[in-house]
Structure 1
Amino acid sequence: MTGGAFTAPTSGERAQRIREWLAGNPAPEQMQEVFKELSGRDKGAARLLREKLDELKRARGQEAIAAEWAQKAEALIAQPKLNIADALAWQRDAAKAGAPLSREPLASFKARLAERVKGIEDLQHRAQVHREAAVLLAQRFEVLSTKGWRDAQAAEEALRADVAHWQQQAAEIAADANWNSLDAKFAPQLETSKSQLLVVSEAFHQALAQTVAAAADAQAPLPPVPVWADELRVARGGTPEAAAPAVQKPAAPKVDPEKRAAAQAAVQAALAKLEQETAEGHGKGSAGAATALRAVLKEHGRLVDSALEARVHAALIAAGELEGWQRWSADKVREELVAKAEGLLKRPEGQALGGRKMQETLRSLREQWKQADQGGVPNHAMWKRFDEACNEAHKVVEAWLEKVRADAAEHRAQRLALIEEVKAWAEAQAGSTDLKAYNRALHQFADRWRDAGHVGEKVFAELLPQWTSAFGAARAPFEAAQKASIERRQAMIAEAAELGAVPTLRIDAVKALQQRWQAEAQTVPLDRRQEQKLWDAFRAPIDEAFNRKSAEREKAAAAMSEHDRHVLEASKALDAANATGDAQKIRGAMARLDAALRGEVPKPSADGPSVGATEVVAPGQAAAEFSESAQQEPAPGDAPPPAAPAEAAGATPDLVAPADGADPSARSDAAEAEAAPAPVAPPKPAPKPVIAVRGDDRPGNKKMEAVPAGRGAGGRFGDRRDGRGGPSSRPNDRGASRGGDRGPGAGRFGDRPPREERGPRLSDVAFRAQREALERAEQALRKLAAQAHGEALTQVLGAWEQRDASKLPSIQELGRAVTPAVRGKWSQALAAGPSAKAEEAAEALLRLEMAAEVPTPAEQLDARRALQLKLLTRRGDPAPAQTWGQDAGTVLAAPHDATSARRLQSALKALLRK
């Protein structure tokens, strides 16, 4: 039976004979028997039988499925009213079930259903178009009623024929086999259009017949059409009557507010129930709530405002009740899309969309329209408007695409021409020796390629290898020259290292090597970074040799003097004091450095040089001196004031810090050891008043006598500014010299005092060390003073918030800007509790902001302007800058709040620094 499959000697022959036997389509029972016998002998040959049996099994299963879905398709086609959704669902469900839709009989059923659905959709479209045609016919009647009656009489027969043709087509649409399958709305719409058209046609013909009769008989009544009646009236010799006044529409009856409120409450209650059920995901509950809401809306819908109606629509859509509401929402979306599409070309001149932006916008609008069609019944009239607007706007995209294609072709031609130009230039510059010009030309070609314009990715991928090949061939000679130049420079770097390693530096050889380097650098240009790296490597050994020579020269010339050593030690001590962050120690170290600069030898100490302080400086005092530290502290290059040694000598023993490296536990012992021999610090001299002097006004210069008062300072009229008398004080002796009163040896600048001794001259190292140490110390003092100022201001605000006068900072902490009397008033205001009125506190805050010249919050700008105008009218009153202390006390006497605290903080932050 199998053709010798069981007796074949090899597995391949058995499989071949099984294939030949299966080609004859044996019975399934025979195949099952052969498979049972062969599966134990040869699994490879048995696999062919198993696949054939599985295929037959699947075919039998698909036949059963096909028969089942064929029956369903017959039932659908036999229905007199076919639902399009059911037909589409049949095809979808059959495909999910695995039915063979591509084989008969399902293929024919699928084609029949598709044809039936297409017929239903075409009939819907015809019905909609026919309804629009009825509207257009009615408009023709209306337009003819506004023209002369003879024109209407001439078009009457054509209108009769068009109306009869419309009625015939309407009858054909209603007689179509698919008419019952249409949506229930189409039949009433078409019937309504037919009745309206017939009413308009009959009225038109009756009015026209009456007009013809009135034209033939002057006694006949005039037609009801105003235009025709006026025409006949003029023909009879009369004048047209004035237009009748517009009929006033009766005013809508007023609704009882109680009824409206009750309706609103009923709808809101039903709406709240539906929203709650929808939010909780209750399907049945949301359906019932939606039904209840629609019932309430039918009863009270005319009394509901538009906002609540919109909420009702949104809730019904969310709940899945899309029978009537989905169409409403879809049409709303379509109207918005149509408006957007029609507005694309109505933008102002400066806001018109470009080609790419227009293309993206049109694509987005069409996608949104598809989504709207999926959620509701299609609206062909709105689709026609939308499609026409999109097609009109797409003309901009087409013009842009044509321009892009033209530009791409032009850019491609430019790039090809540039490639050919590079090749020709490379051949012409074969033996060029001007490498700078060669490199400049290569950069220009690269810039032209980069700026050659945009081309497509495919075109660019095609042109890039050609450009790389041509540009690489043109750049090859320059790269070879660069490589040779780098090798020569590496050789010069090695030669420079050899010259630098020689104990005796040869200046002539170094100059010659540098000239060779400069010549090489000017001949062959390299990349900036690479050239800088090579230059640094070249100059490093030479600079090191010169530095070694300079160090040896300085060491051989003279050792460091004792004065320089003292200055360097004092500078290091000042840096150590800066690191501590203590203002007392920093000032003490500055005083020691000033003494060392004047040449004073520091007294030896058991602990070594100490970094001490000359006086106790409170945080507030540091804040008070913050504004004048830059002017009172000595400059790095100027001589310090003579009072510094006294301050350094009078340092308080118990505030002296231990020397660097000393044990902190020995601080008290060191203080006791220094307390006995230390002299009592003399009192600081009172600052002398600044007196205007004549002559040299450089820092450190002393003037023994003040300039006499001239004109404007109590002198007589005519006196000179240098103190000498005017014309009346000149001697009568003509032989007397004009400068005879200067004394012997007085020249032009003979009245200058002798130059003050500034101490021994410093070496460069010591001078730079002391200058940098003083600069760092001044910066540290300014930083500490600013911190102290901020702490004092924070304490003031904290005392106000807690109404605790004991937490108010002291006079020293507040600084010199606050007098004891002002602080006393602040303390009384805090101790007495909130007593100031809100108006007084607000005006005091405005005066504080005016005194501090800080901005006022936007909401208080009008009040500040009013206060400024008020102050202009009171010329005798003190200015806010003079009374800011009392104003601050008024604010502190008021209750604390965050806004006033921020305004007071910004004002006092500027005022306490003055």
Structure 2
Amino acid sequence: MFPFSLRNKMSDAPDLTPTPAPAAPVHPLDGLTGGAFSAATSGERAARIREWLVSQPEPAQLQEVFKELSGRDKGAARAVRERLDEIRRAKSQELIAAEWAEKATALLAASKLNIADAMAWQRDAAKAGAPLSREPLAELKTALTERIKVIEDLQHRVQVQREAAVLLAQRIEVLSTKSWQDAHAVREALQADVQNWQDQAQALASDASWPSVEARFPPLLDTSRAQLLVVWDAFQAAIAQAAAAAADAQAPLPAVPLWADELRAARGEAPAAAEASAPRPAKPRTDPAIVAQSVAKVSEALAKLEQETAQGHGKASSGAAAALRAVLKQHGRHIDAALEQRVHAGLVAAGELEGWQRWSSDQVREDLIAKAHGLLNRPDGQALGGRKMQESLRQLREQWKQADQGGAPNHGLWKKFDEACNEAHKVVEAWLEKVRADAAEHKAQRLALIAELQAWGEQNATNTDWKSVLRGLQQFGARWREGGHVGEKLLAELLPQWKRAMDAAAAPFEAAQAASLGRRQAMIEEAAVLGAAPMLRIDAVKALQQRWQAEAQAVPMERRQEQKLWDAFRKPIDEAFNRKTADRERGAEQTSAHDKAVLEASKALEAANAGGDVQAIRAAVAALEAALRGQAAHAAEQATAHAPEAPTKASGSGVGSAEGQAQDASPASSPMDAAAEREAGVQGEQAAAQALRAVPRPVVAVRGDDRPGMKKDVPAAPGRGARPGERRDARGPRDGAPGMGRPSGRFGERAEFADRGPRLGDAAFRAQREALEHAQAALRKLAAQAHGEALAHLLAAWDARDASQIPSTQEFGRAVNAAARNLWVQALSQAPQPKPKVPAADLLLRLEIAAEVPTPAEQLPARRMLQLQLLTRRNEAAPAETWTQDVAALLATPSEAGAARRLQNALKALMRA
């Protein structure tokens, strides 16, 4: 027994109590981070850091913690660094947002807003990385968009007001062709419309966004107002004068001829005295045929105008209206009032359509002008290339022609469009200049290449290295193809010169090819003669092939032509060899009994593979392997082959003499005795073969040991190493020596391969190999299907909490034993545990770690944490060793769809192992 005190009882020294070790000093930042610096593992330290970051610490604290923690644990410090980077990014974006918000506020505060500046703000802000989707930039962006919409709406309303002024003026002008009383009746309505137009124009001019409208729109509105007021004032003066003249016979008549005639007729004024005294000539009566002709022509012109107006053809309706007016000048005095009224209505409708078509055509022209300006000022800042710019200008001019065909031309807009196109065409001109300069340079390069080819051809006229000549010609051709673009006219001029130079340089090579072609044709005829000979001379064939190869190496030809010549050369020789092979095969013996048995077993195995039965496939495989190892059948065949032969007397072996004595002794033996004799003979042959193999070969040369004191005639012991001839004890002896691995037996077969049976023919060997490969694939496929069905039944049993649905142990395969299945049955037989000792999430992670299968993205941090914990737990079984218990613990919990999928993925890999 050991004393409890270290002090000796016989000693007078005082008892000394050991002092405990001082505790580790606490880090000053532990209280701030919740004990992250004193954590035992890196995982705990990272978890405490994450919990501390939830409290949103100050940037200064984050910087201090990162400075201290980065030197201890970079993994735990990563979260702090990411938070610092996020704060830095947020500050940077706040500065950018403040800068662009200030610019947007300045744009909105300006009295005049340019639409291009507002759109450029949004584009440049996005390029600078400003957060346009967050406040305040989102609100400012919306405000700018609304402001742009208001300005564009004002511009559109100006164009509408302009067309409305034109239509009102036309309505007033049409009233001059009607009675003054009708015009007086609609005066108030017209006055209301004119006043309404002036109010709308005044509202446009007084709008807060009116200063931001483009400079070309305010003059349009002012011009329309001035023209409308001039027409309206003239109409009011004329109608007032007509009303006064109707009330007072002494009042002057209006300036409108139709109204003056109407008032003069109402007054019943007599003509002047001179005119009254003279008799008025009687108005001649118009011929009815002329009246009918006039009515027909006017009606025809009017019908065409009404048709074009109904279809909305602006330019066609203008032409039809002009044609109708021309007809009216000639035949208008011969039509009645009803037709005249229809004519006036048609002209009014055509005028309105013409005004609308003019406005719509102007809209198209405005868009084309904007596109022409946009060719140089693109939103992405990248200018178009010369060819693309040329095609774009051509398309824009074609569209302008179509717009002129659909409506009346607008010379003011055409001037703007032409100026924009001419400005953009400067890019095309620069590109054309560059193209012309490149064409001149490429022409000079090609002329220099032609001269170089001519000089090269003269220099290599006597060169017989045809490969180098062909390589040089190909290089010249590649340089010509890569010589740059030239025009069709210039190419047509240079191409004949190039062809003449190339033909002159390639003439010696082409002559050599022609000569080589003749020699190859002669060799083809010689090969045909050799192939047709009754006896194939192999030496002559080899010599001919060598000549062909030398010719092909000396003079290269075009690949396709050379391949055709080679095929023609080898065809008769191949046919001769094929005839020889066929003769050899016909002279060969028929398939042996062993090959037949292997072929039949291979066919049976293929049939079993097609059936999909595991037991049948395995039985067929066993039968095929037994057929392959058919030593008994081979021995029986050999015995049958030797049975009718006469006994052979061999010295040194008693087999032949024994058989002869047996036959001499009992010539009339029974079949059973004959079989016994044949069996004895076979055994005697095998014993003789073994005796022959056991005879050691004589030693011709030995390796002597030249060490001091060693005998020269004793071979050295085999040593260890990797040089040839060493490690004979490990690999076994060679070449039929006594006890060696390759005895000189029948056909040189190895003793360790004796159970393979006789050598197979080509057909039998290929058949058995393919059958075995197909059987292995079928067994793997069936095993995978069986595992899949077993897993499906297991998951269904978990979902239904029914242990009877769990498959048997054989269905699971060798990866699951009976003990594991019993654990699973017990887990499903009990009620589900809502709160198990090990959470279901950890069990799934352990199974995925054991199976080495992927984990869902949201569970990756938990998996890393669990792996770190497993590394720190000593003497604890790995998940790969306890996965059956983990599955049982998981089956004891309630079933979930996500957990079932993850369990299935893990078990697929685990049961496959």
TM-score range, shorter chain: 0.3 to 0.5
TM-score by length of 1: 0.41
Larger relative contact order (C-alpha < 8 A, sep ≥ 6)? Answer: 1
TM-score by length of 2: 0.41
